[in-house]
Structure 1
């Protein structure tokens, strides 16, 4: 008898990618065969994001498209943050959906699917503040780097953010469990890990903080690069900054969400820092980590944002000099405090769109100017995958710059020294320096049982 097949389509952040890996692993351990596409799959799951309305509308549209791939008896389910937020409403919006499961419900997924495949329509959106899926063996998409969740949920409750309502209160995994997973990653042949959390640097398992975690993961034999995302500016203690600076495996890149450069807007967002406090965090990071590459998140059009507030954002972007920024127009999320702000403070879509264009142009102009100065310099890169452009591979420097190198003579998963030969403004082209040959880390043998 053939095994039932499952396809998972993933939207949203790295945490959603990690959750899809956990779901695939859980289902594979319970007799399901993962497949690469929805065509003819016995189970189709859409793992969703709820951070912006556009993401939800895209998923609703995709659920309609997926109907045509469903064979008789197939199950279509929705997982993740949008599932948590909408719950049974999703079953009403899409009658061909028979399963809705939130981020804390994946342990029950095999049983839930048994019910759905028998004709039941099921919703599972209860929070479980003890759940970290420690006994799950993720089926990883990436064979070069591993996403490792170290924390779930968030306690900050920024006024625009839906995450506390879709992922619950903050809780951290035990340090020993994170180290154990990292050791398994090395046995699986990977040398880079990305530690994940909603405010990852607020990690604390009751005995160890994020500085302890960075040092412990750095001590795992075979790990060559450590990244983390996304931190909160308020949680960069001296201990954490010292660990970033002194643990050789921690890469010289910090994604530091700013959201606005106006103290007035930041207060209304409940970000719990000022413009000056954010700039001071940047100064402390740069003093401790020379050459650190900073990227960020910025929202425009938050209720009540004036042109003067926006100009403060532009000036802080220019002052700090981010290498890249994820930029968004404010998207109201039902249930968040920002939706209860006076309607008179709403920033029109036309104004928000115009501000977004100016912000993107400012970020790109600064990044291009700095990147042009890097041409001719040499950097270590790790080749991550084939590029969308033919005959090229995509690689990353330690400080997270993207470098395209020729396929010939290079291997995915290998480290090379490259010389930067060109830039589009945001990405680079590079040539392997042949007098410094490709290097692979010598990995320890897998431990016997």
Structure 2
């Protein structure tokens, strides 16, 4: 969602004559787009703002946008005196006017929610050359006790299905063939007439689209209709990121996740029965207030039972304004114990991931080549089931669909060898960053 918002801002500013630069040194405008999910992210932003001072010209305008801007509002201006703009996720339309005001020496905080704002008339400028991030829903109504999103993104609201389809068609015209539908609880999407199952089928049927992904769903909103749409729409990829957070029913109740351990497992079973070869990834929190040894063991046992392909794992980070910060102080888990549990969780998840991946060696699969890998020698590609595959090829192959044989694994990623000479080319957009 952060990337998608950045693309919206760039599109809005580009329409007013702004052009991107590769480095902040000497830029006229520097915008830092932020996240507020974890405290560490906000700490890094404050540090980054300090570093940016050395790149500023006398008339450079610095702004903070996104969820941290929404959460802290004018407090950002107090902490960083060289910042002129603080703009939340619903205020990007006003950026050109706010920048004009900042040039006159004014400072602005734009953090009001606009429940009608979906930026339908703003043409996003895509950063990535092979896929498009498309927000279909904003905000969240679930209010989990640890989560700041309802405060920073507001209540849930969805775009109209025809508007989403129109943007997907524009994406195809730009030469892209993979889309990722975005929402805080994306599978609760409804525009009053259509649900998420309708949206998957409609987007998946757009001529020229070859891959449809989405993130992040909520386990409660996987109706039989949604699972059937996934199974019956060939362009929808065989991968679901299904946030678990904890494997303990009592912990899930304290988190206000609104499902039990058994209901989560039942959801997984329905998905796997309908979609052969489904890959599952998840989110897990360690050290939530009051977490007992038994509750943590429940989390480990559920990880072993589901056998996730991978997981994003987090140490609990208290966020100001969430109900979790008002829980009894004696429920706080000592840092050393959190670290110990976290280490065990990581070892368990990574071990299962490695076992899963070793069983795949020798398989042949389709990948979309996305970019040059960090080592600068291989290309990074992605399979339909979200496996990262490193391919020896020239950078000219970025944007190609290749058939590869999985020949090796580090446990987390694969190496693959192209099979045969056949390849399919996806035209890249005329202008990318």
Per-residue deviation, 1:408: 3.8
CA distance in 1, matches of 2:82, 2:307: 48
CA distance in 2, matches of 1:438, 1:31: 38
Match of 1:39 in 2: 25
* 3-state SS in 2 of match to 1:433: strand
CA distance in 2, matches of 1:74, 1:89: 21
* 3-state SS in 1 of match to 2:83: coil
Per-residue deviation, 1:311: 0.4
Q: Is the 8 A contact 1:160 1:337 kept in 2?
A: yes
Q: Is the 8 A contact 1:222 1:441 kept in 2?
A: no
Structure with higher RCO (Cα < 8 A, 6+ apart): 2
Pick aligned residue for 1:308 from 290, 294, 302: 294
CA distance in 1, matches of 2:426, 2:129: 14
Per-residue Cα deviation, 1:84-117 (whole angstroms, up to 9, x for no partner):
0000000000111111000000011111111112
Unmatched segments (≥5 aa) in structure 1? 1-14, 444-449
Q: Is the 8 A contact 2:66 2:88 kept in 1?
A: yes
Matches within 5 A, 1:112-151: 112-151=98-137
CA distance in 2, matches of 1:32, 1:398: 36
Q: How many residues align?
A: 428
CA distance in 1, matches of 2:382, 2:202: 24
Per-residue Cα deviation, 1:374-416 (whole angstroms, up to 9, x for no partner):
1111000000011111321000110000000002496001101
CA distance in 1, matches of 2:120, 2:243: 29
Match of 1:352 in 2: 338
CA distance in 2, matches of 1:200, 1:390: 35
- Say yes or no: does 1:398 pair with 2:381: no
Q: Is the 8 A contact 1:179 1:220 kept in 2?
A: yes
Match of 1:166 in 2: 152
CA distance in 2, matches of 1:429, 1:106: 41
Match of 1:253 in 2: 239
Unmatched segments (≥5 aa) in structure 2? 429-433
Q: Is the 8 A contact 1:222 1:442 kept in 2?
A: no
Match of 2:46 in 1: 60
> Any runs of at least 4 consecutive aligned residues in structure 1 with deviations exceeding 3 A, and if so which?
none
Matches within 5 A, 1:213-292: 213-292=199-278
Per-residue deviation, 1:202: 0.2
Q: Is the 8 A contact 2:175 2:427 kept in 1?
A: no
Q: Is the 8 A contact 2:175 2:426 kept in 1?
A: no
CA distance in 2, matches of 1:37, 1:148: 26
Pick aligned residue for 1:104 from 69, 81, 90: 90
Match of 2:431 in 1: none
CA distance in 2, matches of 1:351, 1:421: 39
Q: Is the 8 A contact 2:379 2:395 kept in 1?
A: no
TM, length-normalised to structure 2: 0.98
- Say yes or no: does 1:94 pair with 2:80: yes
* 3-state SS in 1 of match to 2:424: coil
CA distance in 2, matches of 1:70, 1:121: 17
Per-residue deviation, 1:118: 1.2
CA distance in 2, matches of 1:342, 1:117: 48
TM, length-normalised to structure 1: 0.94
Per-residue deviation, 1:227: 0.2
Per-residue Cα deviation, 1:160-201 (whole angstroms, up to 9, x for no partner):
000000000000000000000000000000000000000000
Match of 1:428 in 2: 414
Per-residue deviation, 1:442: 9.0
Pick aligned residue for 2:352 from 366, 369, 379: 366
Match of 1:193 in 2: 179
When the two chains are superposed, the root-mean-square deviation of aligned CA atoms in Å is 1.1
Per-residue Cα deviation, 1:241-262 (whole angstroms, up to 9, x for no partner):
0000000000000000000000
CA distance in 2, matches of 1:324, 1:441: 28
